[in-house]
Amino acid sequence: MPPREPMWYCHECHSEMRPLMVPDPVCASCHGSFVEKLENSEDDPRQFALGNTVDHNDDNPPAPSIDAFLLSLQALMDRGMSQRQRLRPDGSSPV
């Protein structure tokens, strides 16, 4: 029986797959191009996708997630847009 091709890891959708070779490897699931061949078990990219498993203490709190940051940014943008809509076309406030 011939040896099986190694699996690849997609850093964009975090899936294991065998890539499409068109001509460079792309993820078969999301068509992302940030893929890596899983050859060495000691250099497994999935460890980084799961995040750091080190316990955090009060001196070194965990970093906020990117989702929380993006939601905060969206709220700020929405607030700015609603303030802009209250202005008159000449830029003056109706109040």
Structure tokens that stand for 86 in this block: 């209250």
Residue 8 CB coordination number (10 Å): 20
> Where do the domains of the chain lie, and which CATH numbers do they carry?
1-50 (2.20.28)
Q: What is the pLDDT of residue 26?
A: 92
Cβ atoms of 87 and 93 within 8 Å: the answer is yes
Mean pLDDT by 10 residues, the chain (95 residues): 77 87 89 85 60 54 71 82 60 61
**Please, what's the largest Cα pairwise distance for the chain?**
80
The whole-angstrom separation of Cα 14 and Cα 44 is: 12
Helix (H) or strand (E) holding 55: none
- Please enumerate in sequence order all residues whose Cβ is within 8 A of that of 7, keeping only pairs 6 or more positions apart, or say none: 16, 17, 18, 38
